[in-house]
Amino acid sequence: MNKFEIHVLLAGFSSEQNSQLTSMLTPLPINIHCCTLDCPIDTLPKVHVLLVGTDNIEKRSHQVQISPEQQAATDADPEEDLQGLSVESRDDQEGAITLGPDEILEHFVQQLKIASPYALGYLLAPAKKILSLSQQQQSQYRDFIIYPVNDVFLEKRLFRIVSDLQEKFVQLVKKRRLKQMLAESEIETQRLKAGLSASLKNTREANKHYVRLLSNQVFARMGQRASGRNQQLNYLLTKMAEACGLDQEQIQDVTDAWHLRNIGKMGFSDALLHSPYIKLSVEQQRTFNCHPTLSHAAMMIVRPLDSAAKIVLQHKEYLDGSGYPEGLSADDISLEAQVLAVVNDYTELVSGRYSDRPFSTVEALAYLDNYATEKYRDDIVDTLAKILPQLSKKGKGMHDVLVQSIDLKIGMQLTRDLICKDGILLLGEGLTIDKATISRLQEMEMNLQEQFKIFIAQK
C-alpha cells in the first residue's frame, strides 16, 4: 500500500499532542497533516481520517465574517450550522459574529466534511466533553476516544483505525479491479458473441447455398427444370408454415426438408422416377417407398440438417397409419412433417407425378379434402385452400381448373403450357384466350384426334 494513499489530519491539538500523535502514527504507511481549527479548509488536502482535539479552544477568540444574506438565512433557520462561513481571528470587523468553543469545533468539522465527504471523524476529548455533546454533534463523528489516555491504549486504537481503513482501501481496490475485469470480460464476451453471430450467419448462408445446390441436382435427376413455378411453390410452403404457427427455426427446418425431400430418389431408375406412382407395380412401389429413409440417411451426414432430416423421414406418414416408411399415425407425426405432407402431396398431384395426368389446383384440393380426416389434418388442408387463391391474385401462385376446348371463353388465361401427347408445345403459359385461339384449338383436336387438357386460371 502506497503511504500517500491515506491522508490523516490532526486538528485542534497542542504542539506537544501533535508530536505525540505523529510519533505514534509515523510507522504506519500514511500521510500525516496537522492544522488548527481556524485553518482555511481550502488549504487542506482530501483526508480520509480526521482526528479532532479540543486543546485550548476556550483560550482562542474567533469571529465569522458573514454577508447580510448569510445572516438572514441563519436567523431564518436556527438549525443551520453556519455552513459556508469562514473562521477568522478577531479584527472587530463590521458584520462579524463571535463563535463559542463548541461552535468553532462543530463548524470546522462541518466544513471539512463538505471538502472531504468520505472522511472518518474521531473526537479525542475528555469523557465529560464527549458526554456533553448533543445528538447532532455526535452524528458528525464515527467514534470517540477519551483523551488524554494511556499511550499504549491510544497507540493500539490509532493503529486499529488506520488498519481498518487500509483493509477497506484494499477491498475497494479489489472491487474496482474486479469491476474493471468484469467490464473488460463483458466487452470480450460481446466481441465473441458478435464473432459467433457473424460465423453462424455465414454458416447458415453457406448451408442455404449447399441445400439449393443439392436441390438443383435432384431437379436435374428427376427431369425437372428450374422455373418460376418452383419459386411459387417455395413461397407457398413458407406461407403455409407461417399460417400453421411454426416459428422461424421450424420454418427454416421445413424449408430445408422441402428442398431435399427427394434426394433419396437420385439412385432410382428412370422407370421409377418418370412413372406416376399409381402406375408402378407393387414391387416398384415398395422400392419407391424407401425414398424418405434414403433421404434421411443422406441428410444426417450434415449435422445442421438433423432436424430437417427428421421431417423428411416423416413427410409421407399419414394420420391413419397408411403412410411410409414406418406407418406412424396421428400424434407420432410432427407438425412440421404434417405441413410438408400436405404441400408435397398437393405438388405431386398438380405435377402429374402421382396420377397418370396432372391435377388442376381445384382437383388437387378436392382430393386432399376428400382424404383430410383420414390422412391429413383438416385445418392444414383448409389453410392451403385459403392461401392458394390469395397467392394467385397476387401473381405469386397458381389456382386453376381443368376445362375442355368447348368450355373455353374469350378472356380466359392459361396457367400451364399446353402440350400435346407427342410432346409438342402448342400454347404457352400465361396466354389470354381469344376467339381465334378457341377455333384453332378445336381444329387441332379434330386433326390430332386428341382431347387437350387445358388449365385455366380460376377466378
Q: pLDDT tens digits for 304-314?
A: 899 999 999 99
Per-residue confidence band for 65, with pLDDT thresholds at 50, 70 and 90: very low
What strands, in cross-sheet order, belong to the sheet with 31-35?
31-35, 7-11, 49-52, 120-125, 143-146
Q: Is 441 in contact with 412 (CB distance < 8 Å)?
A: no
Contact residues for 139 (Cβ-Cβ < 8 A; gap 6+): none
Summarize pLDDT for 423-456 with one digit per residue, the tens: 889 999 999 999 999 999 999 999 889 999 999 9
- The mean per-residue pLDDT over the stretch 250-274 comes to 94
Summarize pLDDT for 272-294 with one digit per residue, the tens: 999 999 999 999 999 999 999 99
pLDDT surpassing 60 at residue 64:
no
Bridge partners of residue 400, in order along the sequence: 457
Higher pLDDT among residues 64 and 125, named by residue: 125
Summarize pLDDT for 32-49 with one digit per residue, the tens: 999 998 889 999 999 999
Structural domain spans, the chain: 3-177, 227-397, 399-459
pLDDT surpassing 80 at residue 270:
yes
- The mean per-residue pLDDT over the stretch 237-251 comes to 96
For the domain made up of 3-177, give the CATH fold.
Rossmann fold (3.40.50)
- Pairing outcome for strands 400-403 and 454-457: antiparallel
Coil, strand or helix at 415: coil
Q: What is the pLDDT of residue 98?
A: 65
pLDDT surpassing 90 at residue 376:
yes
Contact residues for 76 (Cβ-Cβ < 8 A; gap 6+): none
Please state, as a whole number, how many other Cβ atoms lie within 10 Å of the Cβ of residue 385.
17
Which string of DSSP letters, residue by residue, matches 432-457?
BP-HHHHHHHHHHHHHHT----EEEE
CA–CA gap between residue 251 and residue 238 (Å, rounded): 7
CATH class of 399-459: alpha beta
Summarize pLDDT for 193-209 with one digit per residue, the tens: 999 999 888 887 888 88
Summarize pLDDT for 75-118 with one digit per residue, the tens: 444 344 434 334 444 444 455 556 777 888 889 999 999 999 98
Calculate what percentage of the chain has a pLDDT beyond 70. 89
Summarize pLDDT for 323-356 with one digit per residue, the tens: 999 999 988 999 999 999 999 999 999 999 999 8
CA–CA gap between residue 418 and residue 362 (Å, rounded): 18
All 3 cell numbers of residue 74? Answer: 441563519
Q: What is the pLDDT of residue 227?
A: 66
Q: What is the pLDDT of residue 242?
A: 96
Calculate what percentage of the chain has a pLDDT beyond 90. 64
- Pairing outcome for strands 7-11 and 31-35: parallel
| Range ranked top by mean pLDDT from 58-62, 121-125, 352-356 | 121-125
For the domain made up of 227-397, give the CATH fold.
Hypothetical protein af1432 (1.10.3210)
All 3 cell numbers of residue 151? Answer: 499511550
Coil, strand or helix at 11: strand
- The mean per-residue pLDDT over the stretch 249-276 comes to 94
Give CA torsion, residues 337, 339, 343, 346, to 10 deg: 90
In whole angstroms, what separates CA 379 from the centre of its chain?
A: 33
pLDDT surpassing 90 at residue 361:
yes
Output the average pLDDT for the chain: 87
pLDDT surpassing 50 at residue 255:
yes
Q: What is the pLDDT of residue 25?
A: 92
